[in-house]
Amino acid sequence: MKDTEKFIKFYESRFGMEIMNIESNYIGEWFKSCNRILDVGCGIGSIEERLSNLNIIGIDKSKEMLIEAKRRSDKIFIQARAESLPFRNESFDGIFYLTTLEFIPNYEIALKEAYSALSKNGKFLAMILNPESEYFKYHMKSKNSYFRRVKHLDLGDIKNSVSNYFMVEDEYFLGINVNKERIFATNDRRYAALYVLKGQKNG
Ligand SMILES: C[S@@+](CC[C@H](N)C(=O)[O-])C[C@H]1O[C@@H](n2cnc3c(N)ncnc32)[C@H](O)[C@@H]1O
């Protein structure tokens, strides 16, 4: 199955929709005061589809993902790489990566680009798959899992790199029990599927 098909299948399942709704509520709340937001690695545009009231531009390296994103939302989607953003400096007052930063081999370059594209005091958010979680470990058992493409497993290293550009705080979020397809509130790193870094541009 192609990546795009896998994403569609998951996000159209009841469980996938529930996860996406929680993630999009979190993102919507964090960026509600922003006027121009960039979603780096927007995939099939599930966030854009849900946050129709926010001005979000999605970029992704994959043409196939973007074809699907355009089918779901009338927002602007651009094929581009996180390491080379096609925008003027300070074009956005909000930038986020939803389970994308950890898939980028040299994410330092991407963070530098995000820093340039973000305005002074602009808001930053990265929601990163938590390798310690049951959810992550479950997916890693499967040979064809997309999770196996994660390039960075050390959350401390990621936080240090992000902190070179953004003043961030961290938290664990979104408990997922895959076997029971159950979602629950937790900040416990053993169960939270996501590690969140959020803050503002330095300087
Ligand atoms: C795990 S998916 C997450 C998609 C979306 N954010 C979501 O949560 O549904 C990672 C996405 O990042 C994109 N991606 C990976 N590396 C990228 C890069 N260097 N530049 C732009 N997009 C990239 C992939 O094509 C994929 O759509």
Each residue's pLDDT tens digit, 124-143: 999 999 999 999 999 999 99
Measured in Å, how far apart are the chain's first and last C-alpha atoms? 45
17-46: per-residue pLDDT in tens? Answer: 999 999 999 999 999 999 999 999 999 999
Q: What CATH topology corresponds to 3-201?
A: Rossmann fold (3.40.50)
Question: How remote is the CA of residue 100 from the centroid of ligand 1, in Å?
Answer: 5
Task: Count how many residues are written for the chain.
Answer: 203
Annotated domain spans of the chain: 3-201
Q: Is the CB of 70 under 6 A from ligand 1?
A: no
User: CA 68, 70, 74, 78 torsion: positive or negative?
Assistant: positive
Q: Is the CB of 82 under 6 A from ligand 1?
A: yes
The bridge status of strand 76-79 relative to strand 92-98 is unpaired
Give the mutation target among 8, 24, 57, 103 for probing the ligand 1 site: most ligand atoms within 8 A of CB.
103
The predicted model scores a pTM of 0.97
